[in-house]
Amino acid sequence: MDFLQDHYAVKNELLLILISVILGLFIGAEREYRNKSAGLRTFILVCFGACLFTILSIKIGVENPDRLAANIITGIGFLGAGVIFKGDNKIEGITTATTIWATASIGMAVGSGYVYIALLGTALVLIILSVLTYLQNFIDNYNKVREYKIALTDSADIQYCENIFKEHHLKYLMIKQQYSPESLTVIWRLTGKNTHHEEVIRRLVDDPKIKAYQF
């Protein structure tokens, strides 16, 4: 009888591990498709690892399961921090880091036997990452924020640039000025519709008073 119970328990645990791998694969495939820093294998291993740690803690009989959960979350926090980096104008990788954190919770749910909660969690993660991207892009198109670094011939052209921004209905904020004998470089933060940004870019390309620009 004990042998049959042990055999059933092993099969059940193997099934849970397989489920965690499949759920991690779904989330990892979405991140891989979007060419993020953490992809398919990372999310499979995160989900599988969290599941296996949870199963082991239950089998070993940890007196305080909260401590194990806290340690898993702490370890995932260090892993998530590794995919966060600073781009030219903003911090990037935060969504991938939080997705790693959410995937670990899904693996822990599977390891604890709460498969339905894990399935719901996976569906919600995929909806947030995929469907809400379109909403984010829609909002971004109407309130695009960019930092422009523009090289001018002299200081009088600062007002000239600000008039261009006003003409194209962009809110502007001067962040920094960098002067050299050859040119004056000014960094602005511009906010407005994406179409207005594109119009300004076309204007800067053809403007003889603009020596160089980047954003």
Which pair of tokens denotes residue 196?
């207005």
In this structure, how many other beta carbons lie within 10 angstroms of the beta carbon of residue 48? 23
Does 143-214 carry CATH code 3.30.70.260? yes
Tokens 């930092």, residue?
147
DSSP, residue by residue, 15-40? HHHHHHHHHHHHHHHHHHHTT-SS-H
DSSP, residue by residue, 41-70? HHHHHHHHHHHHHHHHHHHHT-S-HHHHHH
DSSP letter, residue 130: I
DSSP-H helix ranges across the chain: 2-33, 40-60, 65-81, 94-111, 115-126, 132-142, 157-167, 194-206
**Looking at residue 185, what is its pLDDT?**
87
- The gap from C-alpha 116 to its chain's centroid, in whole angstroms, comes to 26
For residue 94, the SS3 value is helix
In the chain, where the domains are located: 2-140, 143-214
**Looking at residue 61, what is its pLDDT?**
65
> Each residue's pLDDT tens digit in the chain (215 positions)?
554 455 556 778 889 989 999 999 999 888 888 777 667 888 999 999 999 888 888 777 656 666 677 777 777 777 777 777 665 556 677 888 888 889 999 999 998 889 999 999 999 999 988 887 788 778 778 888 888 888 887 777 788 888 889 988 899 888 888 877 777 888 889 998 888 888 888 888 888 888 887 87
Does the reported pTM lie above 0.75?
Answer: no
Between CA 109 and CA 124 the distance in angstroms is 14
Which pair of tokens denotes residue 18?
């397989």
Give residue 123's identity as a one-letter amino acid code: A
**Looking at residue 88, what is its pLDDT?**
57
Between CA 56 and CA 52 the distance in angstroms is 6
The answer to whether 211 and 152 are in contact (CB under 8 A) is yes
